[in-house]
Amino acid sequence: QVELVESGGGVVQPGRSLRLSCAASGFTFSNNPMHWVRQAPGKGLEWVAFISSDGSDKNYADSVKGRFTISRDNSENTLDLQMNSLRTEDTAVYYCARALLRGAHYFDYWGQGTLVTVSS
Amino acid sequence: DIVMTQSPDSLAVSLGERATINCKSSQSVLYSSNNKNYFAWYQQKPGQPPKVLIYWASTRESGVPDRFSGSGSGTDFTLTISSLQAEDVAVYYCQQYYSTPLTFGGGTKVEIK
């Protein structure tokens, strides 16, 4: 069965960096676009970033553009999110999510999420 | 950016009664070339990730009970729970995938009256 497992969350000071990873299994990872979606404590869902199935196309929310970088390794079935210059407003649970296919970016599988807390 | 506005923010419904949630997009999410609405509904229970219920505005995800249905087109959409069950207590979100940035509604909390 499809499984997405995030890791790398934790407590970090403002201005510092953190790298999140998502390990995928149970499907052909290289076939699907992947996304990061976050949820601040007690708040709604916010899309963060997208990467195409082959990694050639990427897109970011304005709130993270220039600070976050999404990447994937199709040989290792992993999705990453490099987060630099972190701000307190980046505090959230970060989910990796699978999009079913190109052009249909709704999320049919989600990981359990990893909590990132940006605080001094 | 396409803004998604859900209503109401919360609602309390008696067991077995109908629950209706609305979502309005600031621009049409209907793609004319294939006549598909790039629109989905999710359910999120406490401590869990969201789960897709409906995509293409009205297609029920496999395994989702048929008491959940989606309707609407263009800019106005509705999620209906025909007979509320205790396990349906959750927050429900709409999402458009017509264009980036992908955007979600603010959520509707459904409780038992």
Residues of A in contact with B5 (CB under 8 A): none
The two most distant CA atoms of chain B are separated, in Å, by 43
pLDDT at A109 over 80: yes
Q: What is the pLDDT of residues A57-86, one digit of tens each?
A: 999 999 999 999 999 999 999 999 999 999
CA dihedral B6, B7, B8, B11 (to 10 degrees): -70
**Hey, are the CB atoms on A106 and B50 less than 8 Å from each other?**
no
How many DSSP H helices and E strands does chain B contain? 0, 13
Mark yes or no for CB contact A45/B95 under 8 Å.
yes
**In the predicted model, what is the mean pLDDT of residues B37-41?**
97
Distance CA A35, CA B26 (A): 23
Residues 63-92 of A with CB under 8 A from B: none
B5, pLDDT greater than 80? yes
Over 90: is that where the pLDDT of B108 sits? yes
- pLDDT confidence bin for B67, thresholds 50/70/90: very high
Q: What is the pLDDT of residues A14-24, one digit of tens each?
A: 999 999 999 99
Residue percentage of chain A with pLDDT more than 90: 96
Give the H/E segment covering residue A117.
strand A114-118
